[in-house]
Amino acid sequence: MTRPARACNLQGCVFDLVPTQSKRAVQSPLQANLERVRARIAAAASAAGRAGDDVALLAVTKSASASLVADLVRLGQRDLGENRVDVLGPKAAALAEAGLSPRWHMIGHLQRNKARRAVECASVVHSVDTLKLIETLARLAAELGRELEVFLEVRAVDAGERSGFEPGALPAAAQAVASLPHLRLRGLMAMAAPCESARAFDLGSQAPARRTFAAVRRLGDTLPLALFPSGRVEYSMGMSADLEAAVAEGSTCVRVGTALFEGLERPEARG
């Protein structure tokens, strides 16, 4: 006899438990990962007194094949991020051939000589780190007749990053983006140093990352809101290991790859 579904509380998040046979029939491992990540975001937002829909999930697809990414899009995940232009182009083309139209984000270091392909494929660039790249993106967006949203990357010293704007250079960079047609300034992007002790659902274990994200938020507070078409500074902060810390400090977009695709195939498994 099948037992009825019941609910349990796990580290502050409530999940519905269904009979094992039924669960296997309706939920794939990818869907389970996606739902767990969404639950983490919702729990972190609630703990911070924020609405869950104020934090967007950006699925980082660098470790997944095009076919697996297509499955993710079919599950309702529309925003996808890639680190490399030479991977972004073919993957975007493969999903388009499958009849899917996700919203692509470029999140890795972008060289100016490869920027055209990024502007062709992506709607958002998170890793804008020099004034020259700002000028190049504006020119290419104009040539291609596109509107491009951008985040300014902040150099986080404790993360060992070599790219990104120094804090003192952010005001001029923000003014530069705001003055150029075809570019829309969204906010700031940053990464925290990896922390081996960080655990999912556990904000306390992510204290070092939280300090980094708090510093970035304070920098954002110094920028004039008039430079941002949305009327607010958005933040692209937080990854699989530290998304709770990022949400606590105001992140509006968390970039998650490992937690979505862990336990699933590597790209070479299906081509």
DSSP string computed for 148-186: EEEEEEBP-GGGT--SSB-GGGHHHHHHHHHHSTTEEEE
Length of the chain: 271
Of 132-136, 157-161, 236-240, the range with the lowest mean pLDDT is 157-161
Give the pLDDT band of residue 2 (cuts 50, 70, 90).
Answer: very low
Token pair recorded at residue 37: 């990540």
Q: Tell me the fold of 6-269.
A: TIM Barrel (3.20.20)
Give the pLDDT band of residue 268 (cuts 50, 70, 90).
Answer: very low
Please count the other Cβ atoms lying within 10 Å of the Cβ belonging to residue 243.
27
pLDDT digits (tens, 9 = 90+) for 74-97: 999 999 999 999 999 999 999 999
Give the pLDDT band of residue 19 (cuts 50, 70, 90).
Answer: very low
| Sequence spans of domains, the chain | 6-269
What is the radius of gyration, based on Cα positions, of the chain? 19
Confidence check: pLDDT of 11 > 60: no
Confidence check: pLDDT of 26 > 80: no
Give the pLDDT band of residue 197 (cuts 50, 70, 90).
Answer: confident
Which is it for the CA torsion 48, 164, 63, 146, positive or negative? positive
Instruction: Supply the DSSP symbol for 89.
Output: H
- Spatial separation of the C-alpha atoms in residues 53 and 11, rounded to whole Å: 21
The answer to whether the beta carbons of residues 58 and 83 sit under 8 Å apart is no
Give the pLDDT band of residue 196 (cuts 50, 70, 90).
Answer: confident
Average pLDDT over the chain, rounded to an integer: 88
C-alpha pair distances (Å), 141 with each of 107, 126, 206, 211 = 17, 15, 38, 35
